[in-house]
Each structure stands twice: as structure tokens, then as C-alpha cells.
Amino acid sequence: MSKKSNNKIKTVNNADGFDINNLITGYHFRVDFCVDNKYIKDIGFKKVSGLDYKQEFKQTNIGASKKGDQANLILGSKFSDLVLERAMNVDSRLYYWLTDQRDKKEKIKIPIVVTVLNHDHLPIFSWFFINAYPISWETTGFEAETNAFLMEKITFRYEFFRRVDMSKSKTIADIKTNRFARN
């Protein structure tokens, strides 16, 4: 008689409430682009990086204190470039859009959405990159002695990003009003 297998990992809930089943994997995601007012899923990215920012501070003296008391004032945030990597695709709408910008020497800003998905392919978190535009495109080059795909790396600059907890969002209106938004 065979036992039914339970794929869920048994966990120990400690005082902090840590549950390993709530951890998010980093390998199940998608990237969407809004080009010509249409969201396109130009899939196949193997790596996404640049989902970070750093606060910029300025030290200043507090009042006329002779002791040298200082405070750190927040000047703003500095965002990293968004870098997307994948095997080159013969029929990529994104590549045609990139080439069009290069040829016309235009900077067309678009939103880019990176979404991490759960095991049912539903969104958990999305990062909305606002007013993104390409600053570089490169390939790995050719090498006859390897059995590898030709890879491309596309780097975007953007104004800012916002991470949204999609598991709590019920509608697009929630996202637009930033009801569940957190940086």
C-alpha cells in the first residue's frame, strides 16, 4: 500500500513566525514592456538585476553647537540600472523597438514590469520601473567551440521603481492608487 506524498516542507514556526513555505523563489518570473500603449510579454529572460536603490545623505551641523553635533539629511534616492539578460530571440518586438530608437536617435520612455510568480503562475510581487529607456545592448559574441546560445544583455535607466505586493492587490485601481505600494 503506497502512502500519499505531501510535497509541502515541514517547518518549525519559531517566535519570529518564520515559515520556510513563505519564502519566494527567484527563478519564476516574467518581464512585461509597454510599447506603443500595448503590454508585450517578451519572455525568456534568464536574469534580472538592478532592483535596488541607495539613499543619499548629507551630513550637516545641528544648530550652533560647538560640540559638533551632526545629523544626516536625506537628499534622495539613487537607483541602479535595470539589466535584463536572455538568449537572443529571432522575433523579438523588444529588439525591433530598441533598434527603432537607435536608428531614429530618440529616447522613448516606457514602463517595464518585472513580476515574480508563485507555483500557480500568479503574481506575488511586481516591480514597476517608471520611464525606462535603453542605454546599452550587447551580445556575448560568437564562439565555435561551445554549444551555447547567443546571449543578449539590455540595460535600462529609469526614473524610479515601486514594488507592489500583488498578492494583496485585488484590482488595477489598487495599483494605480498605490494602496499596497512599498518601495
> Which pLDDT value is given to residue 70?
80
pLDDT in tens, 5-55: 444 444 555 556 677 777 787 888 999 998 878 888 766 899 999 998 888
- Half-sphere exposure in the Cβ direction for 37 (13 Å, CA): 0
- The structural domains of the chain, with segments of one domain joined by +, span 24-52+80-182
| Domain range 24-52+80-182, its CATH number among 2.50.20, 3.30.1360, 2.30.110, 3.30.70 | 2.30.110
C-alpha cell at 25: 523563489
Q: What is the rounded distance in angstroms from the CA atom of residue 123 to the CA atom of residue 164?
A: 10
Average pLDDT, the chain: 80
Q: Which of 159, 127, 136 is nearest to 83 (CA)?
A: 136
Cβ proximity of 126 and 106 under 8 Å = no
